[in-house]
Amino acid sequence: MSAPNSSERKACWDSRDLLWKCLDDNGDKAESCLKFQGEFESNCPAQWVKYFSKRRDYLKYKAKMETEGFKPAEGPKQPS
């Protein structure tokens, strides 16, 4: 498999950006963005789709941690 050229990379990134915008606008409801998901998957190599999907999850988690902070789960109390 050869690396995508600059126009193929731009098409992939543009598709990713449109999908992410759709997901943001629709509260991450994937069923609302099936058209954009299909374009994203057809314009990007499969490994890139996997990477960008994980990247989005990470960025959303990071933003949540920055705004809400870390809240440890309450477990059993340890004896003093």
pTM of the model: 0.79
Provide the CB-side half-sphere exposure for 56 (13 A, CA): 16
Encode pLDDT of 49-66 as tens digits: 999 999 999 999 999 998
Range 23-62 burial, b when 16+ CB lie within 10 A, else e: beeeeeeeeebeebbebbeebbeeebbeebeeebeeeeee
More confident residue, 70 or 32: 32
Encode pLDDT of 21-34 as tens digits: 999 999 999 999 99
Structural domain spans, the chain: 6-65
